[in-house]
Amino acid sequence: MASEVREHDLDLVRDANRVRRPGDTPGVAPVRMRIESVEVDGRHVRFGVCGTGPDAVLLHGWGLGPRAYRGPASSMAAAGCRVFAPSLPGFGGNPELDPEDRTFTGYANWLGRFLDTVGASDLSVVAGHSFGGGVATAFVYEQPWRVSGLLLANAIGSPTWTLLPDEVRTMVERPMWDWGRHLATDLLGSPQRFRILPTLLHDFVSNLAINPLGMFRTGEFVRRADLVHEVGAIAKWGIPVTVAWSDRDMLVPRSAFDELRRAARVDGVVVPGPHAWPIADPVAFGDVALGALVDSGVLTARVGPAG
């Protein structure tokens, strides 16, 4: 019965927001993300912002930045919220955190200060893709009173690399060349590669040119990510967690997705596509974000109670 009610609510909200969805209605302009700058900890931080309504956050993947996520942010905003997409420390020209703060908790605390600065106190959903999913998890775990829902898209956070019949191999055991090999396969194997590669390469190459050592340092602690306990605690606290994964992801394995969704006590959402599916298919990401917003209770209240 609960799932039927949720689906009914989701249909109501989708219908109410249909004219605002990019690409759904001819002649209707999509929600555009603009780039702004703000000072956090005495340093200038660039961030994207778009939409109106309850505040939400979208956190980018490793080596990227808000520019690559214009499409996902636009679709998320079209679902009915104001989206903030900051450049995380160490990326997009944003200085790295101090060495003692280069942890997921350190990133979470930084995100809290950023949100204080832009005046976003109560968040409908904190969404994160890949590395951003790990930061999103840590933030919600550290400051749960600020958040109504968590959306993890192909998020890092499980220490499991692969499950063998008599052995569990961890992410720390995964060699760097294997990450690089699958990253190339993931990008080049995408049907949308000619559309998304210029944007992805622009962000990645820019970050690599500005701060190559910072990218390496961040990549090293990402490999050691273990946020399964945090995801489980968030779910126990009653904060809805949406865990999504794409069926051609060669970077975050199915075993990692399964571990996170089990910790969150949800079935999870599997979509077609590569690791970068939120960027390659922002409309599909918007539908997943819409479901997360309904689960958080924010959009149900705006549309009205289910029949």
Read off the pLDDT of residues 243-292 as tens digits, 9 standing for 90 and up. Answer: 999 998 878 889 889 999 999 999 999 999 888 899 889 999 999 999 99
Which uninterrupted H or E stretch holds 31? Answer: none
Mean pLDDT of 168-179: 47
Please give the share of the chain, as a percent, with pLDDT higher than 70: 67
Q: Could you give the CA distance from residue 193 to residue 23 in angstroms, rounded to a whole number?
A: 19
CB 57, CB 127: distance < 8 Å: yes
pLDDT at 28: 37
pLDDT at 129: 96
pLDDT at residue 9 is higher than 50: no
| CB burial of residue 68 (10 Å; 0-12, 13-18, 19+) | buried
- Band of residue 183 on the pLDDT scale cut at 50, 70, 90: low
- Band of residue 83 on the pLDDT scale cut at 50, 70, 90: very high
- Band of residue 167 on the pLDDT scale cut at 50, 70, 90: very low
Mean pLDDT of 78-105: 89
Which uninterrupted H or E stretch holds 284? Answer: helix 282-296
CATH topology of domain 2-303: Rossmann fold (3.40.50)
- Band of residue 93 on the pLDDT scale cut at 50, 70, 90: confident
Which is more confident, 160 or 175? 160
